Homo-oligomer: A and B are copies of this chain.
Amino acid sequence: MAQVSRIEPFSFGIDAASGVITPHQNLIQRRLSHMKGMFMDESAREAMFRVEDTLLYEVYEVMVPDEVGHLMICTSITYSGRVGREYFMTKGHFHKNIQTAEVYYCLRGQGFMLMESDRGDCKAEPMAAGRAVYVPAYYAHRSINTGKEPLISFCVYPGGAGHDYATIETKGFRKLVLEKNGRPQIEDNPKWKNNI
């Protein structure tokens, strides 16, 4: 095994109300324009986008060497809202090295961690402040905000895990979390594409 890089110990602050990490080295922002075709109701997304390119989620990242042995750190902030019946959510991804887990510790808000394995096993774990979700190896994962406040989590995953967004962008998840009579409901994804 290659030697793991030596870095200095450091500390950082996490504001549970906003999800901001201080100091952070990278900020990812995903808006309606980045999620074309990823919501069930594309015409609803398109109509919303014409009014405003709404911010759906943000990821604050602490940069350490992306190597096995290190731990990658970020916060994930998914804002409150819906595209049609579908709650605001992250794109979701597998890890490029699929044999790596991730831990989400929820600091604020309400929602679900939607997970789906490479074999098609599906699970949605509820998220709420003070709860943590273990996303095992082999599982794609997506944060979904079903509440009124931002859904904020502190996330840790192994160095070298990497990200595979393409699989979900192409196929989608088998399940969706949709609003029905004012409540979240898990339904089959009518657009889910097998064998692509």
Contact = CB atoms under 8 A, between A and B. Distances in A.
A139 B156 CA distance: 19
A124 to B, nearest CB: 9
A123 interface: yes
Interface of A: 1, 3-16, 62, 64, 68-71, 73, 97, 99-103, 105, 113, 115, 117, 121, 123, 125-127, 130-139, 154, 156-159
Given A69-B100, A101-B159, 20 more contacts: A4-B138, A5-B137, A6-B117, A9-B113, A9-B115, A9-B134, A10-B125, A11-B126, A12-B131, A13-B132, A14-B130, A14-B131, A15-B130, A16-B130, A62-B134, A64-B136, A70-B101, A71-B157, A73-B132, A158-B158
